[in-house]
Amino acid sequence: MIPWEERKNSNEIIWRYSKNPITKRNQFKSGARIFNSAVLPYNEEFIGVFRVDHYNTVPNLHIGRSEDGLNWVFDENIIKWVDENGNISIPDYAYDPRLVKIDEQYYITFCTDLHGPTIGIGRTKDFVNFERLPEAFLPFNRNGVLFPRKIKGKYYMLSRPSDNGHTPFGDIFISESYDFIHWGNHQWLMGKKSDSWWENLKIGAGPIPIETSDGWLLIYHGVTNTCNGYVYSFGTALLDLENPSKVLYRSKRYLMTPEETYETVGFVPNVVFPCSALVEDNKVAIYYGAADTYIGIAFAYLDELIEFTKRS
């Protein structure tokens, strides 16, 4: 069973877990802050790839395990990748992971360094041995998000080309591959929106797209600039099932914006940053980074998210 709590206020489309945040500062030896992370059900329990910022402020990926998806035990050591030649291949840094099961393997995408930030990718069968593939794209790029299955014989990945810093721009693109190594046929998917102020600076894909009969439900973050810095919210879109480069609908307002203290106060204030979503029947549990400091969970019903995307 995925984490779940019933809605208390009937006006809400999305509601927060009452015991948020589920991680705390300095939770384990090297873990100063744990946020922007991705989880999946695994062997009757849950497993996750976590962004952990260490005490030198450099982000790395750690595996975490949980019986209930709420209380997590983290590996003290970072993921030890091995490349295709059998050599240990540890990235200088790694952040904002996404996790998905495709063809009986678990794929992890993340942001890492190739003389500038871009999309790293790797896979594992058992969360013990990790194979690192070559970086998927040229720098600069962030928010690489795979689709959970082949579509018409090809794998698909969303990404957000960027610059070397705190990118003050950005649209989502979609790319195709037959082997997770060679990515091409890049297409522009959707852009920031000047008439929708919460997402007028940049946008980026969030969790792995959710397959529904109405299309791929994409939860994505949108950023606006204020006199005191960026504010990260998130909204939704629906992409065509057979041709995911086609946007069918896009929410006109944000689904969630920073409101609670653990979202508005932290290492980077005013950030809600979704990286994964668990779905069971009509229930959705969204895991999001809060203020680059904590992980929060929010709940919603899938049919209501689809309605929200079509009609908000």
Q: How many alpha carbons fall within 13 Å on the CB side of residue 80?
A: 8
Q: Which of 100, 157, 271, 286 binds ligand BMA (CB under 6 A)?
A: 271
Per rule CB under 6 A, is residue 289 in the interface with ligand BMA? yes
Sheet containing strand 283-290, strands side by side = 15-16, 294-301, 283-290, 272-280
Question: What Rg do the C-alpha atoms of the chain give, in angstroms?
Answer: 18
User: Which among 47, 135, 54 is positioned nearest to 91, based on CA atoms?
Assistant: 135
Q: What would the two tokens of residue 250 be?
A: 């896009």
Report the nearest approach of ligand BMA to the CB of residue 150 (Å): 29
Per-residue binding letters, 224-243, with ligand BMA (x by CB under 6 A): --------x-----------
Per rule CB under 6 A, is residue 95 in the interface with ligand BMA? yes
Q: How many alpha carbons fall within 13 Å on the CB side of residue 81?
A: 25
The answer to whether residues 283 and 230 touch, using CB atoms and an 8 Å cutoff, is no
Per rule CB under 6 A, is residue 263 in the interface with ligand BMA? no
Report the nearest approach of ligand BMA to the CB of residue 292 (Å): 5
Per-residue binding letters, 148-167, with ligand BMA (x by CB under 6 A): ------------------x-
Per-residue binding letters, 26-45, with ligand BMA (x by CB under 6 A): ----------x---------
Please identify which residue in the block is written with the tokens 């090297």: 30
Per rule CB under 6 A, is residue 21 in the interface with ligand BMA? no
Where along the sequence are the contacts to ligand BMA (CB under 6 A)? Answer: 36, 95-96, 166, 232, 268, 271, 273, 289, 292
